[in-house]
């Protein structure tokens, strides 16, 4: 497309944008396995209106031009620290998403370790389960760090003994997930906390997926393991507001047990004509709308609202898992703790099932080990559960009614 010589009418542009979305996945109908998260229509409206209120403001100017944005951000962080049982003196930052929060935590740990060791070029290694999110590999690639991924146990949970055995004198970071993305299981963070204290290694908890759901699941009496600052070995936590905080994108948090640790995160530079340049995040310009919307949604729902949504969501997922188990040959992978559910088959190729479901308009999320269909569920998936299960029963029936054939090559991209 060439740069346009003349402008177009607003209505014409909006009509084309609407038409261009015609072939996108129907995420409102729950047909995307991930990417969009919903609680309630009123929560969506609250987030949208608050975002628009700060549509033009830039969070980069929060410490100068826009003190209201700074105040909102500080209050979001304070609420997050309270939710995750942080001790007095804890600190944190908002970011644009889980990958940035993870990158910031890794960078902060590396700076801390270089300072502690007195080795400004020290690189070191990260130890974690093989279920660790690839954002850590992205961070390690940018910072020239080694990642040691340790296989899970037979029950698909993190192998604590193997993780401890992988630690050496160059280990700068131990990571646990709450939960991990492939299987939806929370690592044994309490045991990792003990290992971290014993070896004097920084422990980061990646709660980007479940951080804003797990505390309310625990309050509902569900057997969700401890994962936060209540465990003394946990030094930092990443948790996404735009997932199970149900806030508009982009909004995530990275939190530290102490302000002294958090002080290693900001970038501070003054060697240019304009003077001092300091930012707390990787990106410079950030939409202040994401900050305002997160603050608004947290205030709008409160603990009472999050408990209500968690009860509805997790109750719906319980029904979903029961229905999956009632389809002959299907099984739920492992024992997921929260809202990620993957299912496989004892006698059919799960990728063939996914191909059949794709023909009915359901975008498949996939696992390779074991081969399974993967979904990260919100209320969108609960509301669309009946048609999904109907199509799943059809897919299984179709595959059993004909000779087996190789599954079509499909790939889930996240």
CA-based nearest residue to 238, from 218, 213, 219, 210 = 210
Task: Give yes or no for a cis peptide into 326 (omega within 30° of 0).
Answer: no
Q: At 205, is the secondary structure helix, strand, or coil?
A: strand
Kindly report the CA angle at 222 between 176 and 181, in degrees rounded to 5? 35
Q: Which two tokens stand for residue 16?
A: 């084309």
DSSP per-residue string spanning 10-32: HHHHHHHHHHHGGGS--GGGT-S
Residues 6+ apart with CB under 8 A from 127: 148, 150, 163, 166, 167, 171, 173, 174, 175, 201
Q: How many CB atoms lie under 10 A from the CB of residue 223?
A: 8
Taking the C-alpha atoms of residue 227 and residue 255, their distance in angstroms, rounded to an integer, is 13
Reference 206, options 231, 183, 181, 223; nearest CA is: 181
CB neighbour burial string for 295-305, b if at least 16 within 10 angstroms, e if fewer: bbbbeebeeeb
Q: What is the model's pTM?
A: 0.95
Is residue 200 classed exposed, middle or buried when 0-12, 13-18 and 19+ CB atoms within 10 A define those classes? exposed
239-297, pLDDT tens digit by residue? 999 999 999 999 999 999 999 999 999 999 999 999 999 999 999 999 999 999 999 99
CA angle 315, 389, 224 (to 5 degrees): 30
Q: Which helix (H) or strand (E) holds 314?
A: helix 288-326
User: In what helix (H) or strand (E) does residue 330 lie, and over which residues does it extend?
Assistant: strand 330-332
Whole-number pLDDT of residue 395: 97
Q: What is the DSSP letter of 413?
A: -
HSE of 300, CA atoms in CB hemisphere, 13 A: 22
Three-state DSSP class for 175? strand
Place of tokens 């304009």: 274
Report the alpha-carbon distance of residue 300 to residue 83 in Å, rounded. 16
pLDDT of residue 409: 56
* C-alpha triplet 71, 73, 79: angle, nearest 5°: 105
pLDDT value of residue 402 = 83
- In order of their start, the domains of the chain are 18-42+302-399 (3.90.1150.10), 51-300 (3.40.640.10)
Nearest residue to 279 (alpha-carbon basis) of 269, 289, 292: 269
For residue range 103-139, list pLDDT tens digits in order.
999 999 999 999 999 999 999 999 999 999 999 999 9
At 200, list the tokens: 């004097």
Q: Is the separation of the CB atoms in 30 and 386 below 8 Å?
A: no
Non-local CB neighbours of 192 within 8 Å, separated by 6+ positions:
158, 160, 163, 174, 176, 203, 233
Phi, psi dihedrals of residue 387, rounded to the nearest 5°: -65, -35
pLDDT under 70 in the chain at which residues? Answer: 403-414
């Amino acid at each position: 497309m060439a740069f346009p010589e003349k402008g177009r009418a607003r209505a014409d542009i909006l009509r084309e944008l609407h038409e261009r979305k015609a072939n996108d996945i129907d995420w409102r109908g729950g047909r995307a396995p991930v990417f969009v998260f919903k609680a309630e229509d009123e929560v969506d409206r609250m987030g949208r209106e608050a975002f628009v209120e700060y549509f033009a403001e830039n969070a980069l100017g929060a410490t100068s031009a826009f003190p209201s944005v700074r105040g909102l951000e500080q209050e979001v962080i304070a609420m997050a620290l309270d939710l995750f049982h942080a001790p007095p003196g804890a600190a944190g930052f908002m970011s644009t998403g889980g990958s940035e929060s993870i990158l910031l935590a890794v960078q902060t740990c590396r700076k801390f370790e270089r300072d502690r060791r007195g080795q400004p070029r020290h690189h070191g290694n990260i130890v974690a389960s093989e279920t660790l999110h690839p954002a850590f590999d992205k961070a390690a690639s940018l910072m020239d760090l080694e990642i040691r991924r340790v296989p899970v146990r037979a029950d698909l949970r993190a192998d604590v003994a193997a993780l401890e055995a992988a630690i050496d004198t160059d280990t700068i970071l131990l990571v646990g997930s709450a939960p991990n993305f492939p299987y939806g299981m929370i690592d044994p963070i309490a045991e990792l906390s003990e290992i971290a204290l014993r070896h004097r290694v920084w422990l980061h908890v990646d709660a980007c997926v479940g951080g804003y759901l797990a505390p309310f699941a625990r309050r509902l009496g569900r057997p969700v393991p401890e994962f936060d600052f209540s465990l003394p070995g946990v030094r930092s936590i990443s948790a996404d507001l735009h997932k199970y905080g149900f806030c508009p994108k982009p909004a995530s948090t990275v939190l530290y047990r102490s302000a002294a640790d958090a002080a290693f995160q900001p970038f501070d530079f003054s060697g240019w004509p304009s003077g001092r340049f300091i930012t707390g995040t990787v990106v410079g310009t950030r939409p202040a709308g994401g900050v305002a919307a997160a603050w608004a949604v947290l205030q709008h729902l409160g603990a009472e609202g999050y408990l209500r949504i968690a009860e509805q969501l997790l109750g719906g997922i319980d029904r979903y898992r029961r229905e999956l188990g009632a389809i002959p040959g299907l099984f739920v992978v492992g024992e997921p703790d929260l809202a990620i559910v993957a299912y496989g088959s004892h006698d059919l190729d799960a990728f063939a099932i996914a191909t059949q479901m794709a023909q009915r308009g359901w975008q498949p999320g996939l696992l390779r080990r074991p081969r399974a269909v993967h979904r990260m569920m919100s209320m969108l998936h609960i509301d669309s559960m009946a048609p999904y299960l109907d199509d799943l029963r059809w897919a299984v029936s179709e595959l059993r009614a004909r000779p087996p054939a190789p599954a079509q090559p499909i790939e889930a991209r996240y």
